[in-house]
Amino acid sequence: MKILKKVLLVIVIIIAVVLIVAAFTKSEYSVKRNVVINKPKAEVFDYIKYVKNQEQYSKWEKMDPAMKKTYTGTDGTVGFTSAWDSKVDSVGQGEQTIAKITEGEKLDLKIHFIKPFEGKADAYLATEIVTPTETKVTWGLKSKMPYPMNIFLLCMDMDKMIGDDLQTGLNNLKTVLETK
């Protein structure tokens, strides 16, 4: 009986330490990547403001060509929602909605992840003139992990995990637009 009490005490202490550490661990993270595309800014922005075009360049879209997609609203306008449902765990289920468009500059998106984990994120695609025929595109994402799940941010490199996927998408976007 004494051994069982000691084991339970150790488990309680471990759980308490994890909860205390999580209380002092950051819960927000942000990631961004960029690429320079050899096309004028207006042409690049006119392409990225349509969420359905992500099918041509997003890494996540390409991971499951058989995913179910539904759309609500008019693409390229505030309120347009693209929902997905994939059997591939790393793609999962969710939806993204155009929250704001700063014409010629930035597309703001609200993302709601449903499966495999519930979550919300703010994402954006922004364009910036490098030269009259070159455009820098930045793709960013900001999210928050709730307590006590935020403890995983100590051992997960979100910048690398998500950043690599964003960079792959941007590289695909560059190829798509420069070969058009």
Domain count, the chain: 1
Q: Tell whether 158 is covered by a domain.
A: yes
Q: Tell whether 66 is covered by a domain.
A: yes
Q: Tell whether 90 is covered by a domain.
A: yes
Q: Tell whether 164 is covered by a domain.
A: yes
Residue 47 lies in domain: 27-178
Q: Tell whether 153 is covered by a domain.
A: yes
Q: Tell whether 48 is covered by a domain.
A: yes
Lowest mean pLDDT among 37-51, 57-71, 101-115, 153-167: 153-167
For residue 115, the model assigns a pLDDT of: 92
Q: Tell whether 5 is covered by a domain.
A: no
* CATH number of the domain encompassing residue 98: 3.30.530.20
Mean pLDDT over all residues of the chain?
Answer: 92
Q: Tell whether 54 is covered by a domain.
A: yes
For residue 86, the model assigns a pLDDT of: 93
**Full-prediction pTM beyond 0.75?**
yes
* Confidence band, pLDDT 50/70/90 cuts, at residue 180: confident
* DSSP state string for the chain: -HHHHHHHHHHHHHHHHHHHHHHTS--EEEEEEEEEESS-HHHHHHHHT-GGGGGGT-HHHHH-TT-EEEEES-TTSTT-EEEEE-SSTTT-EEEEEEEEEETTTEEEEEEEEEESS-EEEEEEEEEEEEETTEEEEEEEEEEE--TTGGGGGGT--HHHHHHHHHHHHHHHHHHHHHT-
For residue 9, the model assigns a pLDDT of: 83
- The predicted model gives 68-82 an average pLDDT of 97
- The predicted model gives 41-68 an average pLDDT of 94
For residue 15, the model assigns a pLDDT of: 83
* Confidence band, pLDDT 50/70/90 cuts, at residue 107: very high
